[in-house]
């Protein structure tokens, strides 16, 4: 088996494993053991990841509307990551070289996250 296919299979198995473990944890009572946000408790402000657990629980329950309402940016990020994975699968299966991810995407996501956090605390 080619090295590229081994890498592809390994990455897809890791993604599936992570999703299954996350789903098991989010469907159980373990999720309620997660501590409260320190920034929200101390300063009364929403941090960039506040409502992330609520988002994940709603997403695990396939309640997409509530997931989007709890943290819209995470919802968009999950859709973006799914798109990246689909393009990766297409590249491997059809031996294409489509590259949608660029290094500056991380900078754009960071800027959007900062703006989103500021707007969440103002509104």
Beta strands in 26-95 (DSSP E): none
pLDDT value of residue 69: 92
Virtual torsion, Cα 31, 65, 121, 76, nearest 10 deg: 90
How far, in Å, CA of 52 to CA of 50, rounded?
Answer: 5
> Measuring CA to CA, how many Å separate 110 from each of 81, 115, 117, 120?
15, 9, 11, 15
Q: What is the pLDDT along the chain (123 residues), one digit of tens a residue?
A: 577 778 888 888 898 898 888 888 888 777 778 888 888 899 989 888 888 888 888 888 889 999 999 999 998 888 888 888 888 888 888 887 877 778 888 899 899 999 999 998 998
Block residue for tokens 């944890």: 25
Please give the Cα distance from 70 to 54 (Å, whole number): 6
Q: For the chain, what's the residue count?
A: 123
How many domains does the chain contain in total?
Answer: 1
Range of the domain at 84: 3-122
- pTM summary value: 0.75
């Amino acid at each position: 088996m080619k090295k590229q296919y081994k890498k592809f299979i390994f990455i897809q198995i890791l993604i599936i494993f992570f999703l299954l473990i996350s789903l098991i944890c989010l469907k159980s009572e373990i999720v309620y053991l997660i501590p409260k946000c320190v920034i929200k408790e101390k300063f009364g402000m929403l941090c960039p990841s506040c409502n992330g657990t609520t988002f994940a629980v709603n997403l695990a329950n396939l309640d997409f509307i509530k997931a989007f309402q709890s943290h819209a940016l995470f919802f968009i990020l999950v859709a973006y990551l799914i798109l990246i994975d689909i393009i990766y699968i297409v590249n491997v299966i059809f031996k294409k070289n489509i590259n949608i991810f660029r290094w500056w995407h991380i900078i754009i996501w960071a800027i959007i996250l900062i703006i989103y956090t500021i707007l969440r605390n103002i509104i």
